[in-house]
């Protein structure tokens, strides 16, 4: 009545339906046979699954934490490079800012000063610790001659010792061969600011009776024929008044920091006695 093919198909359908019905009941009733089968299957497969899964995780880990690290490392290198450039740029900006500040002070000094000023850069310093001179990059070609005073906004630096075509040697006021005729601004007590090499000056020949106190401002008197009157030199940092003797021992600390000199101004016009400390 039915062909063989039809019989096989119907049989397969019936088997599938039965299989589904049986397993559905088994699932609902939680039969011990099904449980045991599941446990066995799990026990058989799960170790391999665990190994497989952990190895996959390991691979994934490698991929995310190692291979990706290469690109992170490259990115890090790039960022480091950029940071170095930024730091460099920042440093340059800061240097420009400082230089701008210094030059502004110079321009202010140039505008306010009654003298003709020529700016110069310090290009070298004395190699010996016993002498205090600097070499600047302006010489006779720029109108600089020996004997001209050299200043910065803070005060007197020194005077031009020798001038060549393009450079000049400046004797600093802290050199022991330098002396500036000076006045204590408050009391007009007169003395000689003489260098003592270790970055300081002595205020020599100040009479014992004169009123000199620590912190007093000392200016040039203009009598030495080199420095115009009224230029700042330094402040009194030590006073020793002995019981005997004509003079008192006075130490003078210059306003100029000679270790940080970078630019200076040379007073080209001769000292004018009329520009008294104004």
Partner 1 sequence: MHFLVYFVFSVLLICIQTTLLPLFPRLFVQYDLLIPYVVYLILFRSSVGMLPVILISGCLMDLLSGGTIGVYIATYILILICFRNATIYFHFKKIILFQIVIILSVLMENILFCMVISIQSMSFKLTFYGTSVLVIQLIWALISSSLLYFMFDYIFNRIDKLIIGGLRERV
According to the binding rule CB under 8 A, does residue 176 interact with partner 1?
yes
In 3D space, the residue among 176, 275, 175, 173 whose CA is nearest the CA of residue 229 turns out to be: 275
Q: Identify the DSSP state of 67.
A: I
Q: Which stretch binds partner 1 (CB under 8 A): 87-95, 103-111, 118-126, 247-255?
A: 118-126
Residue closer to partner 1 by CB (options 161, 163) is 161
In whole angstroms, the minimum distance from the beta carbon of 150 to partner 1 comes to 13
Taking the C-alpha atoms of residue 248 and residue 240, their distance in angstroms, rounded to an integer, is 6
State yes or no: residue 138 binds partner 1 (CB under 8 A): no
The DSSP element (H or E) to which 251 belongs, if any, is strand 249-254
Given 3, 71, 243, 259, the residue binding partner 1 (CB under 8 A): 259
Question: Does 127 sit near partner 1 (CB under 8 A)?
Answer: yes
Quick check: 126 binds partner 1 (CB under 8 A)?
yes
Least distance (Å) from partner 1 to the CB of residue 198? 4
Q: Least Å distance between CB 171 and partner 1?
A: 6
Q: Which of 8, 72, 123, 207 binds partner 1 (CB under 8 A)?
A: 123
Q: Taking phi first (over 0 means left), then psi (-120 to 50 degrees means alpha), and beta for anything else, what does residue 206 get? A: beta
What distance, in Å, lies between the first and last C-alpha atoms of the chain? 137
Q: Classify residue 97 by burial, with Cβ atoms within 10 Å: 0-12, 13-18, 19+.
A: exposed
| 131 is a site residue for partner 1 (CB under 8 A) | yes
- Shortest approach of partner 1 to residue 154 CB, angstroms? 19
**Helix extents (H) in the chain:** 4-29, 32-62, 68-112
If one asks whether residue 262 binds partner 1 (CB under 8 A), the answer comes out as no
The upper half-sphere exposure of residue 126, i.e. CA atoms within 13 Å in the direction of its Cβ, equals: 17
Q: Which stretch binds partner 1 (CB under 8 A): 11-19, 74-82, 164-172, 205-213?
A: 164-172
Binding interface with partner 1 (CB under 8 A): 123-133, 135, 161, 169, 171-172, 175-177, 197-198, 259
């Amino acid at each position: 009545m039915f062909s063989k093919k039809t019989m096989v198909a119907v049989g397969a359908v019936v088997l599938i339906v039965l299989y589904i019905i049986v397993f559905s009941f088994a699932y609902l009733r939680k039969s011990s046979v099904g449980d045991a089968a599941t446990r066995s299957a799990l026990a058989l497969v799960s170790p391999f699954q665990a190994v497989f899964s952990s190895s996959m995780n390991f691979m994934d880990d490698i991929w995310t934490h190692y291979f990706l690290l290469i690109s992170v490392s490259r990115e890090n290198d790039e960022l480091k490079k950029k940071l170095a450039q930024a730091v460099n740029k920042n440093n340059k900006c800061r240097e420009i800012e400082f230089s701008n500040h210094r030059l502004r002070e110079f321009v202010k000094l140039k505008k306010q000063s009654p003298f003709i000023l020529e700016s110069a850069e310090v290009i070298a310093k004395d190699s010996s610790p016993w002498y205090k001179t600097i070499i600047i990059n302006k010489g006779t070609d720029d109108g600089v001659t020996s004997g001209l005073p050299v200043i910065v906004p803070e005060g007197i630096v020194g005077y031009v010792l020798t001038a060549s075509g393009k450079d000049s040697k400046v004797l600093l006021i802290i050199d022991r061969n330098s002396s500036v005729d000076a006045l204590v601004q408050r009391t007009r007590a007169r003395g000689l600011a003489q260098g003592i090499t270790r970055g300081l000056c002595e205020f020599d020949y100040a009479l014992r009776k004169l009123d000199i106190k620590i912190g007093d401002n000392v200016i040039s008197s203009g009598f030495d024929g080199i420095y115009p009157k009224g230029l700042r030199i330094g402040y009194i940092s030590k006073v020793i008044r002995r019981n005997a003797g004509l003079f008192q021992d006075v130490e003078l600390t210059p306003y100029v920091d000679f270790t940080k000199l970078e630019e200076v101004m040379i007073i080209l016009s001769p000292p004018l006695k009329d520009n008294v400390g104004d």
